[in-house]
Amino acid sequence: MQLTHKSKAAIMIGLLPAFLIYAVFAIYPILQSFYYSLMEWDGFTDMTFVGLDNFRNLFEDPLFWNSVKNNIYVVLASVLGQIPLALFFALLLNRKIKGLKFFRTVGFLPVVLSTVVISLTWSLIYNSQNGMLNEILRNIGLGVMAQNWLGDTKWVMAAVLVTVIWQFIGLYLIIFLAALQNVPTEVLEAAKMDGASEWTTTFKITIPMIWHTIIVAVILCISGSLKTFDLIYVMTNGGPAHSSDVMALYMFNETFNKLQYGYGSAVSVFIFFFSLILIFIVTKLFGRKLI
């Protein structure tokens, strides 16, 4: 292109603002956390170099492994809850339904709302005294099943996971619906003419034809659910007794409540690599490009 030669300066000027802000506030902190993770530091007094001690302590802390386990639960619940439910409702909506627009609007609504508002609303629903859930159970004569949903170590993860699933079904619903509408109707009609039942066309034709989209959704779902922090922070702050801790919460509390910036940075580094490696494995597994 003609512009190329005289435009070096312009290119620099054009890229600089974005590059600078991004490099300083997104990339640099990560590099810094590698450095801090080798230090012991309370944020005020001088740092001391402790080598890999932070990581050793981290790997020896059962509470940390507990948070990893809960993180995996969140990933599993999202993939096994959101994806099948979203696909199911998308298939229903794809059958020339009246009111399609209404169901789409309503279906996507939770995705737009802030996680904080969702968490607070669901905390009210799960409230042990006046919560909607217990009230419904009492009204239908199942009062014995009423629980302190967020205050009971047995129930808290289940309660949180329901909210997690609820929040994002709509996103995958819309993604699947768009894919389904691209499936050519001739193919389905031809199959029908050949006497294929609806089950057969759904499982042998429709789903294979949108398989690629399903894979994309699964990858999205995994990387999205690794980010869970706000929701649990607001609903339970990891409690009771750490039973709903996830990695980011563990990191947050260890860092800011106990003033262990070095240790917290070590957890950051772990989360960083854990996420990257998991997404890498999943994309490799499904044969998709990483970016």
Partner 1 sequence: MNSTLPIEKNKNKQNESRIKKRVTRIIIYTLLSLFALINVYPIVWMAINSFKSEQEFTVNQFGFPSKFNFENYANAWEIANLGVLFKNSIFICVTATVVTVIIGALASYFLARFHFKLNKVIYTFFIFGLLIPIHATLVPMFILMKNLGLLNTEITLLFPYIAFHLPITIFILTSFMRAFPKDIEESAIMDGAGIFRIFWSIILPMSRPAVATVIILNFIYNWNEFSFALVLINDPELQTLPLGLANFAGQFTTNYGAQMAGLTMSLVPIVIFYLFLEKEIVNGMTSGAVKG
- Looking at residues 168 to 197 of the shown chain, list those that interact with partner 1 (rule: CB under 8 A): 169-171, 174-175, 178
50-58, 92-100, 142-150, 152-160 -> range binding partner 1 (CB under 8 A): 92-100
User: Is 48:39 a contact under the CB 8 Å cutoff?
Assistant: yes
Rounded to whole angstroms, how far apart are CA atoms 63 and 79?
25
Residue from 61, 216, 240, 243 that binds partner 1 (CB under 8 A)? 216
229 to 258: interface string for partner 1, x by CB under 8 A: xx--xx------------xx--xx--xx--
Provide, for the chain, the percentages of residues in helix, strand and coil under a 3-state DSSP scheme, each rounded to the nearest 5.
75, 0, 25
- Helix then strand count (H, E) for the chain reads 17, 2
Distances (CA, A) of 136 to 118, 132, 157: 20, 6, 21
5-13, 51-59, 73-81, 151-159 -> range binding partner 1 (CB under 8 A): 5-13
Place of tokens 């009062």: 143
Residue from 80, 132, 142, 259 that binds partner 1 (CB under 8 A)? 132
CB atoms within 10 A of CB 248: 21
- In angstroms, give the least distance from the CB of 80 to partner 1: 18
Residue from 52, 76, 80, 120 that binds partner 1 (CB under 8 A)? 120
Site residues (CB under 8 A) for partner 1, limited to 144-173: 166, 169-171
- In angstroms, give the least distance from the CB of 206 to partner 1: 16
Rounded to whole angstroms, how far apart are CA atoms 158 and 70?
11
Residue from 103, 155, 196, 207 that binds partner 1 (CB under 8 A)? 103
CB atoms within 10 A of CB 133: 19
Nearer to partner 1 among residue 117 and residue 142 (C-beta): 117
Bridge partners (DSSP) listed for residue 40:
48
Place of tokens 């996971």: 161
48-56, 72-80, 87-95, 153-161 -> range binding partner 1 (CB under 8 A): 87-95
Residue from 157, 214, 267, 282 that binds partner 1 (CB under 8 A)? 267
- In angstroms, give the least distance from the CB of 129 to partner 1: 8
User: Is 234:116 a contact under the CB 8 Å cutoff?
Assistant: yes
Residue from 60, 62, 114, 144 that binds partner 1 (CB under 8 A)? 114
Q: How many residues bind partner 1 (CB under 8 A)?
A: 96
Site residues (CB under 8 A) for partner 1, limited to 18-47: 18-19, 21-22, 24-30, 32-33, 36, 43
269 to 288: interface string for partner 1, x by CB under 8 A: x-xx--xx--x---------
User: Is 231:118 a contact under the CB 8 Å cutoff?
Assistant: yes
- In angstroms, give the least distance from the CB of 100 to partner 1: 10
Residue from 38, 218, 226, 232 that binds partner 1 (CB under 8 A)? 226
Q: Which residues, 6 or more positions from 12, have their beta carbon under 8 angstroms from its beta carbon?
A: none
Place of tokens 């909607």: 132
**DSSP letters of 13-32?**
HHHHHHHHHHIIIIIHHHHH
